[in-house]
Each structure stands twice: as structure tokens, then as C-alpha cells.
Structure 1
Amino acid sequence: MGKLSDVQIRGWIKAGERFEQRGDGEGLYLRYRKEDATPRWLFRYRLAGKARVLFMGSYGTLSLADARKTAKEMRARVALGHDPAGEKKERKREAVRKIEADRLMVTMGQLADDYFAAQIVGRWKHPNIVRARIENDIKPNIGKLAVADVKPQHIDAMLQAIVKRGAPTMANDVLRWVKRMFDYAIKRQMVTFNPATAFSLIDAGGKETSRDRWLTRSELVKLFEAMRTAKGWNIENTYAVKLLLMLAVRREELIAAPLAEFDLDGAVWHLPGERTKTGKAIDIPLPRQAVAILRELERLGGGSSWLLPARKMQSRMIPHIDLNTVGASLAKNIRPMLKDVAPFTVHDFRRTARTHLAALGVAPHVGERCLNHAVKGVEGIYMRHDFYEERKEALQKWADLLDQLERGDLGDNVVPLPGRKLA
């Protein structure tokens, strides 16, 4: 049979004429079986005495002229000892392997989510503290890397970025959690090496020391003034700061609070044990100022079940604001306005409350219970009195002082007693 022509091929297609193969010469053939949507090009050759076939493509995508050109190139490769058909199969196998590897590849972000679901949820009293570290530090820095591709230099760069923004304690926390996540990955046979093992707190945020910072009356006056005038600072943040100061509760207890815990008519916050650091429930008496703020936050929430609902849709779908929202806003919007005030954080508000409660004449054991601290020693074993009425009076006195300071009135020059180191 002579060489093929485009006229012949188009005629066979039009007539629906099917055939096993028709040759063009020098190993190039055209096949048009019943199951073929369009005719297909084949290149036949022998290598080491064995017949081989390479499917080159369809007539619809490879013209007769292009098929002849490709066949000529294949003949040259065969002459040099290559196996075009075998090489094509290997390329396909490699592509399939890569697709499967990509499908099975676990990123650091996925590992963090898996670890959180398996090891944190249901086991930790305040899981959102860990979630915040995952979303704010781990995912932005190494979340897109495959777990097997994370190297010590990636861990180091992440820790240094956190320290550089002025959060050494958070760098320490991130290091601890990343180490645990990689240990978890080793147990799940995802990796065989923990790239964070070589790092210590010295490489992250350094040794942590107990803070003793608290805000004086004049510093509180300046804080209230800054919150009234700062750009980018919203009323919800102001209310959160006031409540943290007024009630002396921990940050996570307030921010993650559902409205159902508050009895505003009875002026009491029923804080359940599963949300406290001590693991014990406590009824917190609410000063009248706190009740007013809570009613306003409920109104601003627009029907949300949370005291401080998330302000925008978040990929992690936490229903309330992030635990770091208020602190980050303080650092960004308020601190620049208080250049003559020593640095402070949200964590210093409890110490501030405890110190001023002492200055107001509140008995030490009452002040400790205002912060939901257990009474220690033998006395604590036998004492079950919760000092509710005493705490109610103390917190109202403290709230009245905060009102006075918000008006810019320093009042009597009371010298605060030394504050105790708080958890």
C-alpha cells in the first residue's frame, strides 16, 4: 500500500469506514476501530528483537504531516537504542505517582488541624488558646509546606518572626506546640524526624519570668482617655477592657463567654468550671456598671449567642472574637498614644485589679476570691465559704473607682499595696 493522504483519511472518517491499521510507511500506521472516536496514529518498531508499539495521538490533534515528522524523530531515537513506548509508559507512571503523592501529601496546616482535633478538643479546657497559635502563627509561616518538607530553618524563621513583633512568650508557646505536633506526626508515620527538636526556649522567646506590672490610677486615667480618642479603636474593645479590669477575670473567660452564662436581672455571672483555670465553677457578682456594659454588648451583638461575637467570617469559624483581638488592638491603636506609660498587656489587668482592691481596703482572702484563686493550705481545705457578698461589695467599690478614674478624677492619693503574682 502506498502512502496515506489527507483526502483518503477524511473520506474514511466521513464514510465511517473502520479498520485495524493502514500504513504510511517506515513504521507509521493509522488505526480506526469502532471504539475510536477519531483515527489514531501508531508507530511500530523493533527493539532488541521485540516488536513495540507507541500510540502517538489522534488524527484530530496530530495531522498527517506532524505524524510523519514525529515518526521520523522516533525512528532516530530507536536507532540510538531508546525505547519510546517504554519511556512514555514510565512518564505516565511517574505522573500517576506524583498525582497520588500530591493527593496524599499532608501540609503543616493540615497536620495542625488534625492534631488540634485529635489531641486538644475535648481534652483542654481552653482549646481556642491553641487554635489562636495555629491560625495566627503556625499556618501563616509554615502552614502550606508539606510536613516532610519542614526543615529546622523554617522553624527558626517562624520563631524569629514572632519574637521580632514583640511576642517572645508566644514564640515559646508556638515552639512547644510545634514540637508536639511533629511528635504526633512521627507516631502517625507521616515523618521520621522532628525538625523542632533541636530548639529550646533560648532559641525562641527566652526564659519566661513572672510579671509584676500593674496600672496606677494616673495610668488608668490615661488609658481611658486614649480609648476615647484613638483611631481604629472600637467601642466593643473599650467594653472588653472595662470588663476585664472591673471583673478581674481571665481573658479567655470573658472573650469566649456565651450570653447564656449571664443573669443580668440578678446581676450575676455563672461561670462554669469547664471554663475556669481552677476547674471549679464560680458565681461572679456584677457591679451595676458591668450590667450596663453587658446589656449594651448584647444589643451590639445583634442576636448572637456570644458576648463578643466574631466581627467577620473566619476560616476557622470560631464564633467569638479571637483571644488576641483586644490585645492586638491595644498594641496597635492605644500603646502609641501612651508613650509616657510603661508597656502593659491584657494579662496585667488582673494584677491591676488585685492591687487596687488591696488599696481600697479589701481583705486579702476576699481579693483572692475576686480573682477566683483558691485559698491555699489547711485553711483552704476546710474553708468552703465563697465570700459572695464580700466580693460583691469589693467589686462594686472597684467599679466605682474605675468610673471616677474614667472621669479623670484621681481622688485620694492612696498608695497601692504590692500586688501578688497572678496566674
Structure 2
Amino acid sequence: MRKNDLLIGAKNQMKITAAALNNDSLPEGRHQDHIVPGLLIIIGKKRRTWYVRYRGAGGKQKTDLLGYFVPNAPPKSDSLGLQEAREKARAVLERVEAGVPVVGTKPAHPKQGGMTLGELFDEYERMRTAKATAAQSGGGKKALKGMKTLPEAMRTVRRNLKDYLKLPAHDFSKADLRKVRDEIAKRAPQMSDRFMSYLGTIMKWAAQEDHIETNFVPDTLKVGPGLVRRERVLTADEMRAIWAACGGPFESANGAAYGRLVRFLLVMAQRKTEGAKLRYGDILNGRWKQKGDSNKSGREHWLALPPLALEQLGNGEAHKLCFAGEKGGVIGNFSQLKAELDKLSGVSGWRHHDLRRTASTHLQEQGFAPHIIDAVLNHAIPGVGGHYMHGALNEAKSGAVAAWAKELDDILKRKPEIESSSTSN
């Protein structure tokens, strides 16, 4: 910060509060503290710097650098908060008043500690994109590996580490990582492990490039599957209740489309995202074609749609979504819609992914072979088998889906078991 910057006029000043600092609402410029005389913070484009001004020996005006503030920094970081800045400024002013020389250690500039966590993520993404571009022009394939999942990986780490993005990367600790990991695991155990894998790859590169001292992600326990192992299979009564509730009335504008989507997913046993992005043009002669770049397994996937699934689709132009939100785009705010469905159906504690588990479990009980069920779910074949077996099994898996749809239709037409037992009594 240049000394001339300290002479910025008071026109941009506003009251300094902890809330204003944390939500980054203070405009650029100089802001004088209203509690401690002489304490001020300079808000720049990238830095927020604390100073204390006072008159030293001989009445000469002096300005001491106190430290730097990072919005929403976690505990034990190098960020100097409002209360700490006031205490530090008071200590300086007390020494001045007592006539004692002011001797302090100059705080390290954030740039000396390397880039922030957010800047590190930006640099990693630029590096990967540049390598992929070079590989495409040069005909190489190695640098293209993982590029399909890169956007999702970057969204995941940035979303879950949003409170840490302005923190210097070297200050991000293993304790911080465990805290974020556990918060994710409480709401989505599988996402917790996925987040750890994505971040581990980024931090490995950061350690190799000396942006951080060490990559401690591999040394931090993954707790997703160990914390909550999902085994939920919906009962017949629960399926009937959810199916009926999918007809509404939802309070959300997207409720009708969401209800049709849930019914469709229960019939087809496919992933929520893949169903939500289904367009009428993807349905050819009663078959759903998933392109290799539109599903998690990265391969073409065909499934014939049984009547129970077709009933949920309606009709539309080829480019339009089958389950469009209120503005024609992909449905948003699944959490709110799911909460409404739970309330309408009286069934709670289940997740969208449990629909796949329910369908596959019933297929297993019908006697379908595991490799057919895996084909329906579009699971990638693990190990050596994935190298040698490339059969699409379109007829076999479509037949399995038809068998499950028939069983589901029978389940939906039956009276609830609780009602039946009470009537017989």
C-alpha cells in the first residue's frame, strides 16, 4: 500500500463493523474506526490492510502497519479481525502515550505467503485447460484425462470451501479440511468422499509446484461411506405414498415437473441428473438414448421406455426438456422440492438415489443376473472386465426395466398393506 493511499479522502468512509468486514460490504478506500482513534483500514481491490496513525517523538506523524484482514477466515488463520486490530492499535497507542519506543514485528504480507486458496484453484484450472488444449492440437490424449469431470470437480471444491477461498493457501489446515469433510458427510456421505478425491488431486499439484508445503489430503481419513452406508429400499407402501404425492399439490412452481421426474426415475432406475436433463429429442422410437458425454459412465446407453415411464413424459419439441422448470430450464432447488414431497407423502429419510437401489433390488429378487442389473444402472465394468467386455446389452437391460415396470404397476394398484390388514381384522 503506497503512503499516498493513506491520504484518501473520507468520502468513501463508512462505519467499520465485524459484519461489514465479513460480508465484504465496505467500499474501496480508507475507513477510520469509530472506537479506537488512529485505527483505520484501507480496502483495496485485493487486500484489506490495517494501520494505526499517531504522533511520535517531536510531534511527527507516523503510520504503522498492523496486519491484514481476510473475510470469513477460519479460526487460527493469520487474518487480523476487528477486535484484534483494536487491541493491537491500543497497545501501540499506550506505548506512545507512555513515551516508550514502539517496536513491533512487521506482519507478513499475504503475497509472501503465496496465493489464496481461491487463486490456487483458478491457477490449477487454467493449467489443466491449457494442457488439454495443447494435447488436442498435438494429438496427445494423456492431458485430456479427467477433463470431462473437471468442471464438476472445480464447482464442488469451490462450493464447499467458499468460506476459505480468500485464505492464503498455506494457512488452510488439516483441521479445516476435517471440519468441511464432516459437514459434507452429514448431508451427503458419498459427496464427502468425492470432494476429498477432487481436492486431493488439486493439492497434489499445488505441493509439487511449491504453492503449499505438503498435500495432507491423502493423510486425512475419508468418512463418507463409513459414516453412513445407504441401504434404504422403499417398501411397497412407501412407493405408493410417494407416487401418489408426486401428483401434488406442490407449493413450488417446479413441483409438477419434479413430481413427474421422481415417478420416471422410480420406473427407469437412472440417475437424477440424467433424468432431469432428458430432452424429447433423446427419445427415438420409444427408446431413451443417453450420449456418452451426458452420463457419469461416459458411454452410450440405450433403454426402451415402458408405458409407465412414457406416461410421465408428455410431448414436446426435440430441443425441449421433458421435465423443464418454470422458465424452461433444468429444475432447480431439488432440496426444497424433496422436502415438500416428504411432507405430502409422509415418507422421510429417503434420497433420490434410493429409487435406483429400490428398482435394482426388485430386479435381483426377480432373478436377473448382476451384470444385467449393472447394465440397467449403467455402471462401468470394473477391472480387467471393463477392458474386454463392451457389449451394450440393450435388449437384456430393456427387458429388465420392462419387468420392473410391470411389477411396480402391480404394486401401485394394490391397496396399502396396513389398510388391508386392518380391514381383515
TM-score scaled to structure 1, two decimals? 0.55
The code of the aligned residue for 2:241 comes to K
Residue 291 (structure 1) aligned with residue 310 (structure 2): yes
The code of the aligned residue for 2:239 comes to L
Residue 263 (structure 1) aligned with residue 286 (structure 2): no
Distance 1:197 1:385 in 2: 36
The code of the aligned residue for 1:243 comes to F
Distance 2:338 2:126 in 1: 31
Q: Verify the 8 A CA contact 2:113 2:168 in the aligned structure 1.
A: no
Match of 1:57 in 2: none
The code of the aligned residue for 1:146 comes to P
**Which of 153, 161, 173 is the equivalent residue of 1:138?**
161
Structure 1 residues 147, 210: CA separation in 2 closer, same or farther (over 3 Å shift)?
Answer: same
* Paired residues for 1:215-230 under 5 Å: 215-227=234-246, 228-229=248-249
Q: Verify the 8 A CA contact 2:257 2:324 in the aligned structure 1.
A: no
Structure 1 residues 127, 349: CA separation in 2 closer, same or farther (over 3 Å shift)?
Answer: farther
Q: CA deviation at 1:195?
A: 6.0
Distance 1:280 1:374 in 2: 9
Q: CA deviation at 1:224?
A: 1.7
Residue 333 (structure 1) aligned with residue 350 (structure 2): no
Q: Write out per-residue CA displacement over residues 257-315 of structure 1, whole angstroms, 9 at most, x where no aligned residue.
A: 5654x134x1112223344555442321122343343345x57xxx96655667789xx
Query: Which runs of 5 or more residues in structure 2 are unaligned?
Result: 1-54, 69-106, 133-143, 418-425
Q: Verify the 8 A CA contact 2:278 2:322 in the aligned structure 1.
A: yes
Residue 214 (structure 1) aligned with residue 236 (structure 2): no
Q: Write out per-residue CA displacement over residues 382-417 of structure 1, whole angstroms, 9 at most, x where no aligned residue.
A: 987655345444433433444555566569xxxxxx
Q: Verify the 8 A CA contact 2:291 2:301 in the aligned structure 1.
A: yes
Residue 155 (structure 1) aligned with residue 177 (structure 2): yes
Secondary structure of 1:144's partner? coil
With 114-123 and 226-235 compared, the bigger mean Cα shift is at 114-123
Secondary structure of 1:207's partner? helix
TM-score scaled to structure 2, two decimals? 0.55
Residue 253 (structure 1) aligned with residue 274 (structure 2): yes
Distance 2:392 2:219 in 1: 47
The code of the aligned residue for 1:142 comes to Y
The code of the aligned residue for 1:249 comes to Q
Q: CA deviation at 1:220?
A: 0.3
Match of 1:112 in 2: 121
Q: CA deviation at 1:234?
A: 1.0
Distance 1:259 1:113 in 2: 36
Q: Verify the 8 A CA contact 1:138 1:174 in the aligned structure 2.
A: no
Structure 1 residues 229, 380: CA separation in 2 closer, same or farther (over 3 Å shift)?
Answer: same
Distance 1:380 1:151 in 2: 38
Match of 1:240 in 2: 261
Match of 1:28 in 2: none
Q: CA deviation at 1:105?
A: 7.2
Secondary structure of 1:270's partner? strand
Taking only aligned residues, the RMSD between alpha carbons, in angstroms, comes to 4.8
Structure 1 residues 409, 209: CA separation in 2 closer, same or farther (over 3 Å shift)?
Answer: same
The code of the aligned residue for 2:304 comes to P
Q: Verify the 8 A CA contact 1:287 1:395 in the aligned structure 2.
A: yes
Structure 1 residues 377, 160: CA separation in 2 closer, same or farther (over 3 Å shift)?
Answer: closer
Q: Verify the 8 A CA contact 2:116 2:168 in the aligned structure 1.
A: yes
Secondary structure of 1:351's partner? helix
Match of 1:185 in 2: 206
Distance 2:300 2:111 in 1: 48
The code of the aligned residue for 2:266 comes to L
The code of the aligned residue for 2:401 comes to L
Q: CA deviation at 1:221?
A: 0.6
Q: Write out per-residue CA displacement over residues 125-172 of structure 1, whole angstroms, 9 at most, x where no aligned residue.
A: 545543552354222x32333324423443233234334x43333333
Match of 2:190 in 1: 169
Secondary structure of 1:293's partner? coil
Q: Write out per-residue CA displacement over residues 223-242 of structure 1, whole angstroms, 9 at most, x where no aligned residue.
A: 12333345447122222222
Distance 1:383 1:102 in 2: 52
* Paired residues for 1:15-414 under 5 Å: 106-116=115-125, 118-119=127-128, 123-124=145-146, 125-127=148-150, 129-139=152-162, 141-163=163-185, 165-194=186-215, 196=217, 199-201=220-222, 204-205=223-224, 207=226, 211-227=230-246, 228-229=248-249, 231-232=251-252, 234-257=255-278, 260=281, 262-264=282-284, 266-296=285-315, 298=316, 320=330, 325-326=333-334, 328-329=335-336, 332-336=339-343, 343-359=349-365, 366-372=372-378, 386-403=392-409, 405-406=411-412, 409=415
Q: CA deviation at 1:351?
A: 1.9
Structure 1 residues 188, 321: CA separation in 2 closer, same or farther (over 3 Å shift)?
Answer: farther
Match of 1:43 in 2: none
Structure 1 residues 128, 221: CA separation in 2 closer, same or farther (over 3 Å shift)?
Answer: farther
The code of the aligned residue for 2:160 comes to D
Secondary structure of 1:345's partner? coil
Distance 2:183 2:412 in 1: 37
The code of the aligned residue for 1:332 comes to A
The code of the aligned residue for 1:186 comes to A
Secondary structure of 2:161's partner? helix
Query: Which runs of 5 or more residues in structure 1 are unaligned?
Result: 1-75, 314-318, 412-423
Residue-pair matches, total: 307
Q: CA deviation at 1:251?
A: 3.4
Q: Verify the 8 A CA contact 1:269 1:286 in the aligned structure 2.
A: yes
